[in-house]
Amino acid sequence: MVFETNLTELWVWFIIAQSKLWRMPLSTDWLTANEVAEDLRVHVSTVREWIRQKKLKAAKFGRDYRIKRKDYEEFVEKHYNVDDDEQKQ
């Protein structure tokens, strides 16, 4: 009886550990197209179009794109408006 209880507890722990690993988020270094779309308040198809046009760097895994946070930040930096004074200099 003691052996069965320990085995059951071990099995429950194993299942919980597996489910937590399965649900672990991706590294914070990578973003999904949906996350970029939500952040910029545009439709996800717009983000995908930027990727297809090579305006935004991304890697494709299966049917999903992943964007490095560094590449996303560079993309945003490139799209800041420049003041008239800065353009003249």
- What's the pLDDT at 69? 95
| 29: CB partners within 8 A, 6+ apart | 68, 69, 70
Q: Where are the beta strands (DSSP E) in the chain?
A: 30-32, 59-61, 64-68
Angle at 61 between CA 55 and CA 64, to 5 degrees: 65
How far does the chain reach from its first CA to its final CA, in angstroms? 83
Helix (H) or strand (E) holding 28: none
Single-letter amino acid, residue 69:
R
- Listed as ranges, residues in the chain with pLDDT below 70 are 1-8, 10-27, 82-89
pLDDT for the residue 2: 46
Walk me through the domains of the chain, giving residue ranges and CATH numbers. 26-80 (1.10.10.10)
pLDDT of residue 28: 75
Angstrom distance (rounded) from CA 12 to CA 42: 43
Residue 82's pLDDT is 67
Q: pTM score > 0.85 for this model? A: no
